[in-house]
Amino acid sequence: MRATFRFFLIASLCSFLLPGCHYGHRKTAEEKRPHDLQQIKDSGELVILTLYSSTSYFIYRGQDMGFQYELSEQFAKSLGVKLRVEVGKSVHELIEKLQAGEGDLIAYNLPITREWKDSLTYCGEEVITHQVIVQRRGGRKIKPLKDVTELVGKDVYVKPGKYYTRMVNLNKELGGGIHIHQVDNDSTSVEDLITQVAQGKISYAVADNDVAKLNTTYYPNLDIKLSVSFDQRASWAVRSDCPELARVATLWHKENMTSPAYTSSMKRYFEISKAIPHSPVLSLREGKISHFDKLFKKYAKKIHWDWRLLASLAYTESNFDTTAVSWAGAKGLMQLMPSTAHAMGIPSGREQSPEESIKAAIKYIAITDKSFTKVPETERLKFVLAAYNSGIGHIQDAQALARKYGKNEYIWNNNVEKFILLKSHEEYFTDPVCKNGYFRGIETYNFVREIIERYDYYKKKIKK
C-alpha cells in the first residue's frame, strides 16, 4: 500500500514539476491539432521548408531570392500572412522537419513517389522534371545531337548518383558505346560541368532540365533539348492532416500561373539573360573612359580610390548604362539592389540618376570596407569588390571555409577566392561554418579578376 502510494506520488511530481519526465505521456488535444490553413492564418505566418539551390532558394547581395522562394512569398501574400524560411540539408530532412511540425509546407520540387504518399499530400503546381544532355550549339562545326543513339562514341560527363545511374542504364539500352566519365570530386558540381560545356572544355554533360534551363541564361550557346530520362512528376507538399492548406495551395497555383508576379519570377530565373553586353572604352584618344568621368573623379576621393578603379566597377556592373536593370532587380549605373539603394539614401524614383547612384555606391563601399578591417590594406580591395558583387555574408563564409581548410582567410588570390567558387557545392555550403548557404561563386570570382584587369588597362591608357 505504502509502495503504491510512493509510486503514485513520484509519477505525479514528474508530470507536474519535470516536463521532460513523462509517465505514460499522452498527446493533448492541442498537440494533436493539425496546423492547417486556419491555424496558419491565426498565427500570421507561413513557414516553408526548402533547400538551398540556384532554382529554389539562395541569398544574393543580402536579399532572399530563388524561384521557389518567390512563389512562396506570393502564396503567403495571398493568404495575408508573413513568410518564414527554414532550410534543410536534404529532401529526407525536409520531410522529417515537416512531419515534426517545424514547417507548414515543403516549397521545393519534391519527387512524387509511392514512398511518401501516405504521409504527405502533394499540392501546388505539378511540374515535370527530367534529365537532359547539355551541349553547345551554333556554328557549322557544332551540330547538337538530336537523338540518344547519337551518344554512342561520345564522351559524356556526369556526377555520381542518379545521373551516372541513368547514363549506365541508357548505355545498356543502346548496346554500349557511350564513354561515361563519372566526375566524383567534390570540387566540381553539375553547374560546373555545364560551365565547362559552355566554354568548350567538355562536349556533353547531364543535368536536370530546370537547372540546365537556368544556366542557358548565363550561357546562350547551350542546347538542352535532348532528354535522356523518363519524366518525373514533382510538386510542393504538406502533411497529410492539412487538407485545406493543400487545397488552397493547388488552387492558388492554378490561378496564379498567368499572373504578372508569377510571369515575372519565371522570366527572372529562366529567361532573362544574366550577361551584360560590354562596349570598349569611350575614347582613348581624348583620354575618356565614360560620360561620367567627372563624377567618378569627384566621388572616388571620398574612399581614397583611383577614379579609374571606380569607373572599372561601373563598367562591369552596368556598361555605363544608367537605365540598366539586372535580372535580380539591381538598378542604375552602379547596380545597387533596391533595399541597398534606399538604405544608402537614394530618393525613391532617383535610382537611375548617375550622381545619386555613385554617391550611394561610395557609401556602401565605405561600409563594406569596415567589415574587412582585419584584412591587410593591400588585399582589402579584392574583398570589398567581391562583397559588392555577392554580399558580405558569402565572403565571410568563404573566409570561414578558408580558415577551416588551412588557407589564409586574409588573402584573396588562391585562398579565399577558391572557397567562393566552392560555395555552389553542397558539401561546402552546408558546412556549419557557412551561414549564408548556396552561392554561385564563379560570378564573383570572375567579377574581381575582371575589374582589377580592366583597372590595370585603364591606368595604362588613361591619365589620372
Active-site annotation, residues: 317
| Length of the chain measured in residues | 464
Cα separation of 233 and 127, whole Å?
A: 6
Helix, strand, or coil (residue 382) = helix
Instruction: Answer yes or no: are the C-beta atoms of 112 and 126 closer than 8 Å.
Output: yes
Cα separation of 264 and 284, whole Å?
A: 40
Instruction: Answer yes or no: are the C-beta atoms of 111 and 233 closer than 8 Å.
Output: yes
Cell of 182: 563519372
Cα separation of 228 and 130, whole Å?
A: 8
Residue identified by cell 511540425 is: 101
Q: Strand 204-208 to strand 131-136: parallel, antiparallel, or no bridges (unpaired)?
A: antiparallel
Instruction: Answer yes or no: are the C-beta atoms of 170 and 228 closer than 8 Å.
Output: yes
Residue identified by cell 591606368 is: 459
Cα separations in angstroms, 389 against 70, 219, 234, 264, 327: 21, 19, 33, 23, 14
- Residue-wise DSSP of 126-181: EEEE-EEEEEE--SSS-----SGGGGTT-EEEE-TTHHHHHHHHHHHHTTS--EEE
Cα separation of 187 and 421, whole Å?
A: 9
What is the Cα gyration radius of the chain? 26
Long-range contacts, stretch 68-72, CB < 8 angstroms, 24+ apart: 68/107, 68/108, 68/109, 69/107, 70/261, 70/265, 70/268, 71/107, 71/256, 71/262, 71/265, 72/46, 72/48, 72/105, 72/107
Cα separation of 238 and 153, whole Å?
A: 45
Instruction: Answer yes or no: are the C-beta atoms of 344 and 66 closer than 8 Å.
Output: no
- Tell me the backbone φ, ψ of residue 430, rounded to 5 degrees: -95, 0
What are the respective helix, strand and coil percentages of the chain, to the nearest 5? 50, 15, 35
